[in-house]
Structure 1
């Protein structure tokens, strides 16, 4: 007998009414007034098992309280050159909105080097973008379109992808763990574009690390994906790397200035950083925030990355005769 989603939502709501004060306060930042939609997201993430969804949500709120996630938008990554270094090496941006009003986030998987800042800066930036999306971008879109908009679309640019990118698997698993446990069902579709021939090898490693519900949302598009993506968004919302006929270096398009959604000079990042700076001056202690002081604990270990080590080594051996840049030191222990 199938589960009735409406009944499950009602049961979960009753359980959430019983959480402690600090959790309730944090929960307000999670649902932003869209309580039913939020409960449904966590239920979908646990196949409408109310008990499991309740535990997931309670654990999420505990994580938020213990790590002061509700205050993360008051903590700028500074000095400014550190933030620019993060933006130059962790390529992500908001390129526009779909025809249905969903925010479109672009991620430069192939050209993100993740080597210009501390790991805590990258994790902090990732969570800040998540929180800014949930607290500012999605509520604003909902108001503009007159209906609840609680999800987004992600376009993953594989330009420049090399097998050496598998060296980041442990870090990427950390981010994936954070998203799976605390920001479930926020993405309706993942479109992969500009796929090089080594993608299949990388996908063999990454695919098992993803939850089945996430894998079902992934679509690999031919070329830069422009024609397919124009079915769901206008040309102005296409990321810069999808507006050309062939796969060229996305980093070379940095000269486009504000048109490059990865750039720290792009409107999205300017607004985000400005917002965080403004929030940092509201009801905050007078002492300066120390760079690198933000640390996030994980609810679950990234143990799957250990199991991927043999697969990674196998793929390296397969291509080591033809691809010299894959001779890197594996640090997945």
Structure 2
């Protein structure tokens, strides 16, 4: 890291020493003892501009305080059967760790429907997984490997991606906005697998619109990506949809203990039990309340809004082309 970078870190650290309570407390929950690494994340997100990184970080801390994010891991989604429905429609889990100790997050981007609960539950669930990653998984991995581990890798399965994904654009924009503004630079690499034509066509248009920093993180792999992923992780850590070429992703493709999306998978069992335990510690007298934990979502940045519009436009073009093709096929059949 160069002298300019070190100086930027020092400047931002001095600025952060001046924040008052309760921002100081929530900042401790954000950096978890890895102060320099956290400052670097926000500096990278703002192209090493100290003033902009400071504003971003303070805005993040204010968002955390205003929305009680420090307490979100004590707010279980109840009842369990309802949470299972959330998990079955928001396909996300941890399949293992890379050889460098980074958690491997598996995401069923193509088959997630987000249709079993309100937006608030999906946002709550997403933030809880973020917080569990940052407060439990990453500190544990850092201790195990004897060095700071502050990022993860993500494997996105595009199996089943359809035009109906347009219905999810608004929710996905909310979630990515939360991540961009409050959990920047937490993903080391995005691996995209089981890519259908609709994604390939859209990716050609979207890729140039991404920031160079983001583009470098994205790797679109052939097929299920197994061979490439085995270069960075053991077979046991592969998401279930990467273990067999052509197997694709399915909510029922493996048993609960193998399917990392399932509530029966060890990761989700540990996460859910942790949240229930935290709720008993924080609220030992009052009964646990049911209902979603509402979180204010900041307005998405202009580039994020434009990106969403571009994706929607490309999907619509693809749909119109398909409908035109179907109409022509119908004319040919009728005219035969």
What TM-score results when the alignment is normalised by the length of structure 2? Answer: 0.90
- CA distance 1:205–1:280, shift in 2 (3 Å): farther
Q: Does 1:317 align with 2:316?
A: no
Deviations 1:250-302 (A, max 9, x none): 22314x22011111000000000000000001132744444334111122247
Name which of structure 1's ranges 2-11 and 115-124 shifts more when overlaid on structure 2: 2-11
CA contact (8 A) 2:251 2:262 kept: no
Q: Is the 8 A contact 2:121 2:292 kept in 1?
A: no
Does the CA contact (< 8 Å) of 1:166 and 1:202 recur in 2? no
* Closer, same or farther: CA 78–167 of 1 in aligned 2, 3 Å: same
Q: Measured at CA, do residues 183 and 148 of structure 1 come closer, stay the same or move farther in structure 2, by a change above 3 Å?
A: same
User: For residues 1-333 of structure 1, what are the structure 2 equivalents within 5 Å?
Assistant: 4-203=4-203, 207=207, 210-254=210-254, 256-284=255-283, 286-301=285-300, 303-304=305-306, 305-306=308-309, 309-321=312-324
Query: 303-312 or 193-202: which moved more?
Result: 303-312
Matched-pair contact (CA < 8 Å) for 2:108–2:249:
no
How far does residue 211 in structure 1 lie from its aligned partner after superposition? 4.4
- The 8 Å contact of residues 77 and 292 in structure 2, kept in 1 or not, is answered as no
Counterpart CA distance in 1 for 2:122 and 2:211 is 23
Q: 3-state SS of the aligned residue for 1:259?
A: coil
**Partners of 1:3 and 1:48 within 8 A in 2:** no
1:288-327 residue CA offsets vs partner (Å, 9 max, x unmatched):
4443341111222474345654444323212224589xxx
Instruction: Report the CA distance between 1:198 and its aligned residue.
Output: 1.5
Can you give the 5+ residue segments of structure 2 that lack an aligned partner in the other structure?
Answer: 328-336
Change (3 A) 1:212 1:4: same
C-alpha deviations, 1:100-124, integer Å up to 9, x for none?
A: 1111000000110111111111000
Q: Count how many residue pairs are aligned between Structure 1 and Structure 2.
A: 322
For 1:128 and 1:30, the matched residues in 2 are separated by 14
Mapped to 2, the partners of 1:306 and 1:246 lie a distance apart of 32
- Deviation, 1:184, is 0.5
| Post-superposition CA distance 1:42-64 (Å, at most 9, x none) | 01111110000000000000000
For 1:117-171, what per-residue CA distance to the aligned partner results, in whole angstroms no more than 9, with x for missing partners? 1111100000000000000000000000000000000000111111221221111
Pair member with larger Rg:
2
Q: Contact conserved, 1:173 with 1:209, CA < 8 A, in 2? A: no
Cα distance in structure 1, aligned partners of 2:64 and 2:21? 13
> Bigger shift: 212-221 or 199-208?
199-208
1:9–1:39: 8 Å Cα contact kept in structure 2?
A: yes
Distance 1:165 1:11 in 2: 43
The alignment's TM-score, normalised by the length of structure 1, stands at 0.91
Provide the aligned C-alpha RMSD in A. 2.0
